[in-house]
């Protein structure tokens, strides 16, 4: 039994080596008709251009995703704790105290976040007030995204506010203006006074110390940062109540491990979200866009691969005498089929390797040199690009699969012709 399996394996290996050798000779040797060489070259070039386009497009999407993730990381924490159901929770509870003491937790920031009405002089707008403790500066890179002024929530005498650049633009705010920014929120316990509606609101004033710019509308156009004490007074929260807790880890590389550890401590009552999960819908949309573009380019690549059909068909006609000779020497239909199937596959492989190589080279040049510029007025000067080995491997597999499909049709046709001619 072992000898039989060994002989079968050796026969298969011998057939593969022979088929591959003949296919390689056919691919690189001069044909009787020069047009066949030209068509084979065009087929490989078409596949190469498609492969290069796939590598470049996927790398550009990776670059934009990395750029946006970096912007969010300047404002979003490593981990964010919220309630699964409900709005506020006790930050001094036993489980929260246990989380504070974890070695993986570098900073533990209390957050009170609610909607309120802003008014500055004769302009007003709704916004999200985010009250944070002083650790917020250490927990995020807020100083790196300050558009104007500086990040200060309390200067020892006055409460300060740091609005997003969109909020500041709408209200006409600037850092260190003399007039305060007025913030209004409905009283929790009081009834609405129809005669004096303004008495139904809590109101506080805060002087603008700076303006931040995340370059994302959901933050820049809606958020105002204030001290957590001011937010608690405005929304009538108790001193131990928060709407969320934001955490900076001592080692961001171990975020998954820390997330599981904190989830185990807090239980199902709380949600612990990492950076991706905090912006899950946004990143999912980016991934959908990326793979839809990939599918569109795959369809174009499939059309380009059809050139292989023409190339193989002409080659088979050109090598009809060789096919008859091989058949007379004892080659069966399967062996002859493999010869031309391997040749079609090699055409696709040559195009894929050249295309992936050129695409990777272009992306690496763009990533490190940035020769393709976006122009003025953009967040970055050059198109953001991040090369990824897994993307290149995916493109290679895709091209080889499409090359196999394109080569299989003419090979089946020739098999039938060979059978009919016997």
Burial of 223 (0-12, 13-18, 19+ CB in 10 A): buried
Helices (H) and strands (E) in the chain, counts: 14, 13
- Alpha helices, H only, 208-274: 217-220, 228-235, 255-266
Q: What is the pLDDT of residue 30?
A: 58
Q: What is the pLDDT of residue 20?
A: 58
Q: What is the pLDDT of residue 318?
A: 65
Q: What is the pLDDT of residue 130?
A: 95
Q: What is the pLDDT of residue 21?
A: 62
Write the DSSP assignment of 307-348 as a string of letters. Answer: HHHHHHHHHHHHTHHHHHHHHHTT--HHHHHHHHHHHHHHHH
- What are the mean pLDDT values of the chain's consecutive 10-residue runs (422 residues total)? 55 57 60 61 82 90 84 85 89 90 89 93 92 86 88 88 93 88 85 65 90 88 93 90 90 82 90 88 86 88 77 68 66 69 78 90 88 71 85 89 77 54 43
Write the DSSP assignment of 46-101 as a string of letters. Answer: HHHHHHHHHHHHHHHHHHHHHHHHHHHHTTS-SEEEEESSSS-EETTSHHHHHHHT
Q: What is the pLDDT of residue 420?
A: 47
Q: What does the alpha-carbon distance between residue 165 and residue 174 come to, in Å, rounded to a whole number?
A: 9
3-state helix, strand, coil in the chain (%, to 5): 55, 20, 25
Q: Are 109 and 133 in contact (CB under 8 A)?
A: yes
Phi, psi of 226 (to 5 degrees): -135, 175
Q: Are 210 and 224 in contact (CB under 8 A)?
A: no
Q: Are 365 and 322 in contact (CB under 8 A)?
A: no
């Amino acid at each position: 039994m072992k000898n039989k399996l060994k002989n079968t394996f050796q026969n298969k290996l011998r057939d593969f080596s022979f088929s591959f050798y003949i296919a390689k000779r056919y691919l690189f040797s001069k044909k009787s008709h020069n047009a066949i060489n030209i068509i084979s070259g065009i087929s490989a070039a078409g596949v190469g251009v498609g492969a290069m386009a796939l590598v470049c497009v996927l790398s550009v999407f990776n670059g934009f995703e990395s750029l946006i993730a970096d912007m969010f990381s300047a404002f979003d924490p490593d981990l964010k704790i919220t309630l699964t159901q409900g709005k506020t929770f006790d930050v001094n509870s036993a489980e929260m105290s246990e989380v504070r003491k974890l070695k993986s937790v570098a900073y533990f920031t209390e957050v009170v976040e609610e909607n309120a009405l802003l008014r500055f002089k004769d302009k007003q707008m709704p916004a999200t007030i985010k009250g944070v403790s002083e650790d917020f500066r250490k927990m995020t890179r807020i100083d790196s995204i300050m558009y104007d002024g500086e990040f200060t929530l309390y200067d020892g005498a006055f409460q300060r506010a740091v609005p997003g650049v969109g909020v500041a633009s709408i209200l006409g705010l600037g850092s260190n203006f003399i007039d305060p920014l007025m913030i209004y929120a409905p009283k929790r316990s009081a009834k609405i006074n129809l005669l004096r509606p303004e008495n139904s609101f809590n109101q506080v004033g805060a002087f603008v110390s700076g303006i931040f710019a995340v370059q994302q509308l959901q933050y820049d156009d809606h958020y105002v940062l204030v001290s957590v004490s001011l937010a608690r007074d405005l929304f009538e929260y108790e001193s131990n109540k928060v709407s969320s807790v934001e955490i900076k880890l001592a080692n961001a590389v171990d975020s998954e491990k820390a997330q599981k550890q904190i989830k185990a401590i807090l239980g199902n009552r709380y949600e612990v979200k990492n950076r991706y999960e905090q912006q899950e819908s946004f990143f999912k949309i980016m991934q959908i866009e990326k793979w839809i573009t990939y599918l569109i380019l795959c369809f174009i690549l499939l059309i380009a691969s059809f050139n292989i059909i023409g190339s193989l068909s002409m080659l088979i006609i050109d090598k009809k005498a060789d096919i008859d000779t091989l058949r007379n020497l004892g080659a069966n239909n399967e062996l002859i089929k493999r010869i031309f199937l391997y040749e079609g596959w090699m055409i696709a492989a040559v195009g894929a390797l050249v295309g992936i190589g050129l695409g990777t080279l272009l992306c690496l040049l763009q990533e490190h040199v940035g020769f393709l510029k976006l122009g003025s007025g953009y967040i970055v000067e050059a198109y953001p690009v991040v090369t990824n080995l897994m993307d290149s491997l995916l493109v290679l597999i895709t091209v080889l699969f499409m090359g196999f499909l394109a080569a299989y049709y003419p090979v089946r046709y020739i098999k039938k012709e060979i059978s009919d001619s016997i």
